[in-house]
Every structure is written in structure tokens, then in C-alpha cells.
Amino acid sequence: MIDLSVQDGIARLVLNRPDKLNALTAEMCDMLATRCREIERSTARIVILSGAGKAFCAGGDIEAWAGETPEAFGDHWVRDGHIAFDALARLTVPVIAQLDGHALGGGLELAACADLRIAEQHIKIGQPETGLGIIPGWSGTQRAVRRFGGQVVRRMALFGEVFDAEEARRLGLVDHVTATGAAHVLAEGLAARVLSRGPQATKLTKMLINAADREDPERIAEALAGRIAAGTDELREGLSAFREKRKPDFS
């Protein structure tokens, strides 16, 4: 239901539940977190996220909510979504969201995890949750506010405004608008541009931007320090000493 292929440095991540407009189930959230780990361990240097069929993503699976107790809704549905969305937002390689169909509710929250959004001209963007009697709980009141600003989130989440692609671009919800059917062309072009740049510099820069954006700055600080420490002679001496059962000599 979430497909991943990696070729020539580009990871293509596809939400693949087109009969339900790629509405996200708990299983799909788990799969998304797994796919993100696979991307981190792959040769990918850029990710293009898209949806199969006519929607990008129509949000969380509304049908699934009926079977949830309030406790399970908060503890599992919301938390599992956060684990998956955090994993996507915190990838060290850049992510492009290719919105070739509507991005609503959880679909918008998912697109918010990307570094860049490309929308086809016919799509709609919004946060319908309060109209369904629920909150935008997969970071729609947090990451979305940080990335898009509070006012546009208020308009969508509190007043139910749904924006077309051009308006979404003016409001900063998306970065580029293309003709219908053309988002993938621009996505591939921008992916090629990322591939032409320094891979380590790009990764490190994204980590720093994410730290500024409150995407787990503590982990980023330790990851960066870990990279430095692991590149020193100290670690080599420490490992040798451990294997040779002697005291390390750091002089």
C-alpha cells in the first residue's frame, strides 16, 4: 500500500490505495515509517512522494475511526501517525511532495513533511477535520503551523476553507503549480538539480534546517557529533584497545 523504489539516487514513494483516494490506515502509517528507514539505508539522495490514482491523499481513513476507543484513538492512531510523519519529515535527504491530486487532512499533514510541494492546477488543499468532529492530529496544528504559518492553518482548520492550487501557492502551502499531468516532470527536474549538488553538504544542510524547524534538534545534535567522533583516531584507538584487551592510548 506504500510502494518504494530507488533508482539512480531517486527514491519514489507512492501511496497506493487509489480506490480509497490513498486514505491512510494504521497499517499504512507503520509501512511509511518502515519505508523511511529503508530510504535512510538506501542510496537515495532525494525522495519524490506521490499518490496513485486521482488523489494525492484524502487524509486518515475515516472509516477506521469508528472502531477506535478514545484512548486507542489518542494513544495509537494519533501517536502511530506521528511516528510515521516524523520519520518522513526527519529524513536527511530532501523530499518533494508531488501533489497530482487532492491533499486533504492527513494528506496535507503528509505534504507538510516534505521540503517542497508541487501541485497540479486542478487540486484542492484543506483541513476538513473539525467539520468531521475531530482534530487535525497528525501534526496539522503543529508542524503545519511551523511550516505554513498560523493564519493559513486557522483559515483551513477553523473556518474550513479549501484552497485551489494557485491560491495555495500564493499562501505558501505549495511552492510550484503545474498543468494537470505535469507535476512529475517538474519533480524529476528538481530531483536532478538536487542530485547535481554536494550530497553530504545537502544532507548536513537539511539536518540544520530541520533543527531550526524543531524537528528533533537533540537527535540531530547527537547525530552530527556522532559523525565527527566516529571520524577521529580516538575511536580507532578505542576499538583497537578493546579488541586487544589493553588500555587505550589517547596521547
Report the interface residues with ligand COA, using CB under 6 A: 20-21, 23, 58-63, 102, 104-106, 128-129, 132
* Annotation marks residue 109 as catalytic: yes
CA distance 227 to 163: 43
**Which among 38, 40, 71, 109 is annotated as catalytic?**
109
Query: What's the min distance (Å) between Cβ of 187 and ligand COA?
Result: 22
Count of CA atoms in the C-beta half-sphere (13 A) of 233: 4
Query: What's the min distance (Å) between Cβ of 79 and ligand COA?
Result: 16
One-letter amino acid identity for 234? E
Cβ proximity to ligand COA: between 10 and 56 the closer is 56
Query: What's the min distance (Å) between Cβ of 1 and ligand COA?
Result: 13
User: H helices of the chain, where?
Assistant: 26-40, 62-65, 70-72, 79-89, 106-112, 143-148, 150-157, 165-170, 183-195, 199-212, 217-230, 233-243
* Annotation marks residue 129 as catalytic: yes
Whether residue 96 contacts residue 116, with contact meaning beta carbons closer than 8 Å, is answered with: yes
> In which residue are the cell numbers 503528509 written?
110
**Which among 27, 68, 120, 129 is annotated as catalytic?**
129
Q: What is the largest CA-CA distance in the chain?
A: 68
Query: What's the min distance (Å) between Cβ of 162 and ligand COA?
Result: 9
Cβ proximity to ligand COA: between 51 and 105 the closer is 105
Query: What's the min distance (Å) between Cβ of 133 and ligand COA?
Result: 11
Cβ proximity to ligand COA: between 11 and 21 the closer is 21
Cβ proximity to ligand COA: between 45 and 102 the closer is 102
Q: Which of 56, 60, 59, 58 is nearest to 76 (CA)?
A: 60
Cβ proximity to ligand COA: between 42 and 121 the closer is 121
Q: Which helix (H) or strand (E) holds 178?
A: strand 176-178
The catalytic residue positions are 109, 129
